[in-house]
Amino acid sequence: MKIDVFLTAEEVKQKEISNSNVIVIDVLRATSVMVTAIAHGVSKIYPYESIEEVREASLTSSFCILCGERKGLKIEGFDYGNSPLEYQTEKIKNREMFMTTTNGTRALSNIKGKNNKIWIASFLNISTVLSFLEKEEKDCIIVCAGTENHFSLDDALCAGMLVEKLENYEKTDIALALEQIAKTSINVKESLKNTKHYRYLKSIGLEKDLEFCCHLNTYPLLLEYKRETNSIFAVTK
């Protein structure tokens, strides 16, 4: 079994992936929001690349919420933004969530290939994802969403923490490099606080989001993305 890592949503768009477990990471903040929303009762999440797609698709649901961001801020006319703290409420229970973000939902849209299983990872559910992968017997591809087509250390650190523990996999050079990043990290927040994307989100008043997204293993959830229905949901493994 092999494990490889793509560092941006744009990079994965250029590749054909087949017969693999694909792990999508957008720590700040899309996959952290997905995990939190499902944990607090959202039934399914439908991710889209554009705002227009969300508005159109949501017309098919009578019990939905519109969620997402551009430049880190809530989209005008949407119910929720991209803050995981917003989703810690009973108001979202049993709702269908239609979502678009700058990086995370685009990463999902860009995955191409056949016979893949696609999963959602963040620091918030990292141990659950790890436990699942340790039992698998197929190749693994980790997709870091990155930030506007650039490398982002937050996603890379999360990927490296997965790679570090997956001892039964043959690791590419990129995977090994991220493993070394993880090994030198003592504290997630301290490792990320000086990064460009972290500093930007902090500058627009989202420091509480950042602290929350850096927590480890808040929710023991495994989330699958099913391309056929364009939906994300919790599964039991």
56 CB neighbour count, 10 Å cutoff: 12
Place of tokens 């972290």: 198
- The pLDDT value recorded for residue 96 is 98
- The pLDDT value recorded for residue 56 is 97
Residue 219 pLDDT grade (very low, low, confident, very high; cuts 50, 70, 90): very high
Q: Judge contact between 106 and 11, C-beta under 8 A.
A: no
The residue-averaged pLDDT of 42-59 equals 98
Q: Which domain holds residue 197?
A: 2-235
| Domain of residue 101, CATH code | 3.90.1560.10
- 2 bridge partner residues: 170
Output the average pLDDT for the chain: 97
Whether the predicted pLDDT of 88 surpasses 60: yes
Q: Which tens digit of pLDDT belongs to each residue from 110-160?
A: 999 999 999 999 999 999 999 999 999 999 999 999 999 999 999 999 999
Whether the predicted pLDDT of 18 surpasses 90: yes
Q: Judge contact between 44 and 231, C-beta under 8 A.
A: yes
- The pLDDT value recorded for residue 237 is 57
* Whether the bond into 70 is cis, omega within 30 of 0: no
The residue-averaged pLDDT of 5-9 equals 97
Residue positions counted in the chain: 237
Q: How many domains does the chain have?
A: 1
The residue-averaged pLDDT of 22-27 equals 99
71 CB neighbour count, 10 Å cutoff: 9
